C-alpha cells in the first residue's frame, strides 16, 4: 500500500470500482484513436461524481475541494486521465460564485444531472499567451446582445461540451484605469454558436487532449449570458484558479503513485544479471526519491484544500501544490520509463501514454515560471516583473 488510508477511503473505493470497468486497454484505445472517453465520462456523471462541488440545492453533492480532488486523483491513480473532465469541477465554481440566482437555477441542475456539460473555458489567445490582460477578443454590446470578435487558442473540451465560459474584453484596454479591468465572462451555448460566428479548428497535440483554435466572427451572445458584473471577468477567472490548480495537483499526485506502483512492480519482476533489477540500489534510490517527492507534494495539496474549503486565502498553497505535484509526477514518470527499459516505450505498458499526459502539467494550465513569479511577488514581496 503506497498511501496511508485517509479520511476519503469511501470515495477512493467508489472511484476505484468505477475505474475498474475502464481498464488500461480502454484508455490505451481512446488514446490511439484520439477519441473522447465518452462512456467513462458518462459513467462518472451518472454516478454524480462530476457534480461533487455543486451544492445540494442545485442537485449536486455539496462536497468540498478536498473530496473533488480525491475524485480527480483516483482517476489518474487508476490509469485514466482526468484532463478529459476536470473542467466541469472548476468551471461550475465560476457560475456558483458570480452567477445570478436565476443563472444558477438555470444552469447548475442540468450540469449536475449531466444533461449539459460545462467542460470548456476560453481564456488563452495566440498573440498574448500568459499576458491575459492584453487579450484582443472583444465583446461589444449592441442592443440586448454582445457581439464577439477575436481568436482563442488551446481551448479544450469544446466538442464534448454544451457550454463554454468565455473571457473577452468589453472595455478597450486604453479606456480602463487598471489593465485587469474591462474584461467580462460569458456563457457561450456551443451547439448554437458553432457555425454561427464561432469556428473551431482542432489542434493535433502530444496528448489525447481535445483542444482547439477558436475563431469568433460576429458571434452574438444574449446579454443574459453575461456572468456577474461587466468588466469584472478577469477577477472572476482568477477566483477560480485556486480550485483548478489544486485539482490538477491532485491529478499529478494520482499519476505519481501510478508511476511508482508500476515501476516498483516491474523492478521486482524483471530479472537481469541473475537478480531483480530492483535489488540494485542504483534502481531503488531514484524510485524511493520520487515516492518521497510525491508524498511531500500530497501534503501541500491537502493544505490548499483545507484552506480553500475553509474559505481562507490559498493562492500560495494552490500554486505551490500544483508546482510540487507536477514536478513530482514528472520525476516519477522519468523513473518509471527509465526502469522499464525498452518496454517503457511500448504502448501496451501504458507508461509512455501516462508519461506524455503528466508532462503537460509543467506548462498548462499554469507554467512553472508563473508559479515562481506568483510566489516571488505575492509571498516574498519582491518587485513585480511584469
Among 367, 375, 376, 378, binds ligand FAD (CB under 6 A): 367
Question: Which of residues 268, 369, 379, 382 is near ligand FAD by CB under 6 A?
Answer: 369
Cα 46 to Cα 24, 75, 91, 119, 251, distances in angstroms: 21, 16, 18, 16, 21
Nearer to ligand FAD, 211 or 264 (CB): 211
Q: Which residue has the cell 461550475?
A: 92
Helix/strand number for the chain, H first, E second: 12, 10
The answer to whether 61 contacts ligand FAD (rule: CB under 6 A) is no
Question: Between 45 and 373, whose beta carbon lies closer to ligand FAD?
Answer: 373
**Which residues in the 123-152 window bind ligand FAD by CB under 6 A?**
123-124, 129-130
Q: Measure the CA–CA gap between 93 and 113, rounded to whole angstroms.
A: 16
Task: Identify which range of 143-151, 244-252, 292-300, 357-365 contacts ligand FAD by CB under 6 A.
Answer: 357-365
CA distance 246 to 252: 10
Contact between 211 and ligand FAD by CB under 6 A: the answer reads yes
Q: List the interface residues with ligand FAD, window 326-355 (CB under 6 A).
A: none
C-alpha torsion sign, points 363, 304, 184, 62? positive
Q: 308: phi > 0 → left, psi -120 to 50 → alpha, else beta; which?
A: alpha
> Are 185 and 227 contacting, i.e. CB atoms less than 8 angstroms apart?
yes
Give the shortest CB-140-to-ligand FAD separation in angstroms.
Answer: 21
Q: From 195, 186, 100, select the one nearest 137 (Cα to Cα).
A: 186
Contact code string over 181-210 relative to ligand FAD, x by CB under 6 A: ------------------------x---x-
Q: Which stretch binds ligand FAD (CB under 6 A): 53-61, 117-125, 170-178, 289-297?
A: 117-125
Q: Which residues bind ligand FAD (CB under 6 A)?
A: 121-124, 129-130, 154-156, 205, 209, 211, 360, 363-367, 369-370, 386
Amino acid at each position: 500500500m503506497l498511501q496511508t488510508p485517509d479520511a476519503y477511503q469511501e470515495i477512493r473505493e467508489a472511484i476505484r470500482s468505477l475505474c475498474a470497468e475502464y481498464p488500461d486497454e480502454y484508455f490505451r484505445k481512446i488514446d490511439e484513436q484520439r477519441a473522447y472517453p465518452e462512456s467513462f465520462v458518462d459513467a462518472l456523471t451518472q454516478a454524480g461524481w462530476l457534480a461533487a462541488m455543486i451544492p445540494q440545492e442545485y442537485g449536486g453533492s455539496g462536497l468540498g475541494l478536498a473530496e473533488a480532488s480525491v475524485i480527480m486523483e483516483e482517476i489518474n491513480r487508476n490509469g485514466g486521465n482526468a484532463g478529459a473532465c476536470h473542467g466541469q469541477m472548476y468551471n461550475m465554481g465560476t457560475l456558483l460564485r458570480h452567477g445570478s440566482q436565476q443563472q444558477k437555477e438555470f444552469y447548475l441542475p442540468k450540469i449536475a444531472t449531466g444533461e449539459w456539460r460545462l467542460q470548456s473555458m476560453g481564456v488563452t489567445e495566440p498573440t498574448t499567451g500568459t499576458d491575459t490582460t492584453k487579450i484582443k477578443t472583444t465583446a461589444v454590446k449592441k442592443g440586448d446582445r454582445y457581439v464577439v470578435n477575436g481568436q482563442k487558442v488551446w481551448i479544450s473540451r469544446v466538442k464534448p461540451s454544451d457550454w463554454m465560459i468565455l473571457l473577452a474584453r468589453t472595455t478597450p484596454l486604453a479606456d480602463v484605469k487598471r489593465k485587469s479591468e474591462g474584461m467580462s465572462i460569458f456563457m457561450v451555448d456551443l451547439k448554437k454558436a458553432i457555425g454561427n460566428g464561432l469556428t473551431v479548428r482542432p489542434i493535433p497535440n502530444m496528448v489525447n487532449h481535445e483542444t482547439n483554435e477558436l475563431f469568433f466572427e460576429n458571434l452574438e451572445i444574449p446579454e443574459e449570458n453575461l456572468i456577474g458584473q461587466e468588466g469584472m471577468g478577469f477577477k472572476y477567472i482568477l477566483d477560480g484558479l485556486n480550485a483548478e490548480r489544486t485539482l490538477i495537483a491532485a491529478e499529478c499526485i494520482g499519476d505519481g503513485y501510478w508511476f511508482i506502483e508500476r515501476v516498483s512492480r516491474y523492478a521486482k519482476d524483471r530479472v537481469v544479471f541473475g537478480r531483480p533489477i530492483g535489488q540494485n540500489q542504483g534502481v531503488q534510490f531514484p524510485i524511493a526519491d520520487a515516492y518521497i517527492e510525491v508524498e511531500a507534494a500530497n501534503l501541500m495539496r491537502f493544505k490548499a484544500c483545507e484552506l480553500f474549503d475553509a474559505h481562507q486565502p490559498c493562492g500560495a498553497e494552490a500554486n505551490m501544490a500544483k508546482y510540487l505535484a507536477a514536478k513530482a509526477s514528472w520525476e516519477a514518470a522519468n523513473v518509471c520509463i527509465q526502469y522499464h527499459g525498452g518496454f517503457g516505450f511500448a504502448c501496451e505498458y501504458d507508461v509512455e501514454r501516462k508519461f506524455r499526459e503528466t508532462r503537460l502539467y509543467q506548462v498548462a494550465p499554469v507554467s512553472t515560471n508563473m508559479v515562481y513569479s506568483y510566489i516571488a511577488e505575492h509571498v516574498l514581496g519582491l518587485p513585480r516583473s511584469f
